C-alpha cells in the first residue's frame, strides 16, 4: 500500500512525541504528510503551580505546534475535550471520524486501547479512551456513510476507509522502526513541551534508554534507537 497521508490520534499534547516522535520525523522526511488529532486540551498537565490552570490549554497547544514543527508536522486538529476525563463516546468517535474524513489518511497511528502492564505510563485512562474511540472511528464509523450522518449531510464529508492502523504502547508488538537518525528531532520535539518536560531530570537519558531497549528487542543491536508498534491491516 502506498502511504501518502498519516493521521495520528492521541489523548494529550506530547503523547505522540514521547511514543512515536522519531517515526513521525522518518515519515515526514520520506515525503509523507502527517496530521495530528489531539483529543484533550491538556489542562491537567504542567508542573508549575504558579501557572493559572486556565492558561494551560493555550500553552500546551503552542507547545504542540512547536513540537510538530520540529518533526515536520503543521496540520494539527485540537478537539478540546477535558484532560483527565476523556470517555469513549459517540461524540468522540464522531469528532475523530470527522478528522479522518478531512485528512483521508491511508494509515492511522493510535494509542493502545489495551492496558500494557509492562509500560503502565502508556496506560493513562485518557490514552485508553483515545485509542478505543480512534479504532471505533477507523472501523466502522469513518468508512460507513450512514454513521454520524451529519458529517455527510451537513458537512459534505464523504466516508473514508483507512487501510492500516499502527498502535503505540500496545501489549503485543509486531513492528519496530529504527529511528536512530531522527533521535535529535524527537528530543527537540519533547523539549518544546516545556511545561511537561523542563522539570524532568535527564530527559535525554530516559528517552534513549527506552529506545535502546526497543532496539535490542527488535534485534537491531547496540547504538540503535527504535520505536515499537503493533501494525494492523484494516483494509
Query: In this predicted structure, what is the pLDDT of residue 223?
Result: 92
Look at residue 143 and tell me whether its pLDDT is greater than 90. yes
Q: Average of pLDDT values for 223-227?
A: 97
Listed in sequence order, the residues at least 6 apart from 69 whose beta carbon sits closer than 8 Å to its beta carbon are none
User: How confident is the model over 6-19, as pLDDT tens digits?
Assistant: 999 999 999 999 99
**Contact between 111 and 154 (Cβ < 8 Å):** no
Quickly list H helices, the chain: 15-29, 56-71, 90-103, 125-136, 149-153, 183-192, 194-197, 203-218
* Length of the chain, in residues: 235
Query: In this predicted structure, what is the pLDDT of residue 172?
Result: 95
User: How confident is the model over 27-82, as pLDDT tens digits?
Assistant: 999 999 999 999 999 988 887 888 888 899 999 999 999 999 999 999 999 999 99
Q: Average of pLDDT values for 142-159?
A: 97
Query: In this predicted structure, what is the pLDDT of residue 86?
Result: 97
Query: In this predicted structure, what is the pLDDT of residue 51?
Result: 86
Of the candidates 119, 115, 133, the residue with the CA atom closest to the CA atom of residue 37: 133
Q: In this predicted structure, which of 25-29, 114-118, 228-232 has the lowest mean pLDDT? A: 114-118
Dist. CA 21–CA 184, nearest whole Å:
10
The pLDDT-based confidence of 209 (bands split at 50, 70, 90) is: very high
The pLDDT-based confidence of 94 (bands split at 50, 70, 90) is: very high
User: Percentage of residues in the chain with pLDDT exceeding 70?
Assistant: 100
**Contact between 9 and 37 (Cβ < 8 Å):** yes
Query: In this predicted structure, what is the pLDDT of residue 53?
Result: 84
Does 1 or 169 have the greater pLDDT score?
169
Does 122 or 166 have the greater pLDDT score?
166
Listed in sequence order, the residues at least 6 apart from 34 whose beta carbon sits closer than 8 Å to its beta carbon are 5, 6, 7, 8, 24, 27, 28, 71, 72, 73, 75
Look at residue 103 and tell me whether its pLDDT is greater than 90. yes
Query: In this predicted structure, what is the pLDDT of residue 50?
Result: 84
Look at residue 22 and tell me whether its pLDDT is greater than 90. yes
Dist. CA 120–CA 221, nearest whole Å:
26
Q: What is the pTM of this model?
A: 0.96
Look at residue 222 and tell me whether its pLDDT is greater than 90. no
The pLDDT-based confidence of 111 (bands split at 50, 70, 90) is: very high
Dist. CA 20–CA 125, nearest whole Å:
19
- Which DSSP string do the residues of 54-112 spell out, in sequence order? GGHHHHHHHHHHHHHHHHT--EEEEEEEPTT-----HHHHHHHHHHHHHH--SEEEEE-
Amino acid at each position: 500500500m502506498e502511504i501518502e497521508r498519516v493521521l495520528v490520534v492521541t489523548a494529550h499534547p506530547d503523547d505522540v512525541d514521547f511514543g512515536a516522535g522519531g517515526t513521525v520525523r522518518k515519515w515526514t522526511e520520506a515525503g509523507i504528510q502527517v496530521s495530528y488529532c489531539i483529543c484533550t486540551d491538556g489542562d491537567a498537565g504542567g508542573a508549575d503551580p504558579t501557572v493559572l490552570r486556565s492558561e494551560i490549554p493555550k500553552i500546551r497547544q503552542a507547545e504542540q505546534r512547536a513540537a510538530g514543527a520540529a518533526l515536520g508536522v503543521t496540520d494539527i486538529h485540537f478537539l478540546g475535550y477535558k484532560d483527565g476525563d476523556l470517555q469513549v463516546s459517540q461524540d468522540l468517535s464522531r469528532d475523530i471520524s470527522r478528522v479522518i474524513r478531512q485528512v483521508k489518511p491511508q494509515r492511522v497511528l493510535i494509542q493502545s486501547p489495551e492496558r500494557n502492564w509492562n509500560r503502565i505510563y502508556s496506560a493513562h485512562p485518557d490514552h485508553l479512551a483515545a485509542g478505543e474511540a480512534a479504532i471505533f472511528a477507523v472501523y466502522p464509523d469513518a468508512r460507513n456513510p450512514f454513521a454520524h450522518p451529519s458529517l455527510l449531510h451537513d458537512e459534505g464529508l464523504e466516508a473514508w476507509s483507512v487501510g492500516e492502523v499502527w498502535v503505540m504502547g500496545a501489549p503485543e508488538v509486531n513492528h519496530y522502526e529504527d529511528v536512530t537518525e531522527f533521535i535529535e528531532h524527537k528530543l527537540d520535539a519533547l523539549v518544546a513541551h516545556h511545561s511537561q518536560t523542563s522539570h524532568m531530570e535527564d530527559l535525554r537519558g530516559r528517552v534513549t534508554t527506552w529506545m535502546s531497549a526497543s532496539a535490542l528487542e527488535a534485534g537491531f543491536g547496540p547504538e540503535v534507537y527504535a520505536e515499537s508498534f503493533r501494525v494492523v491491516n484494516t483494509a
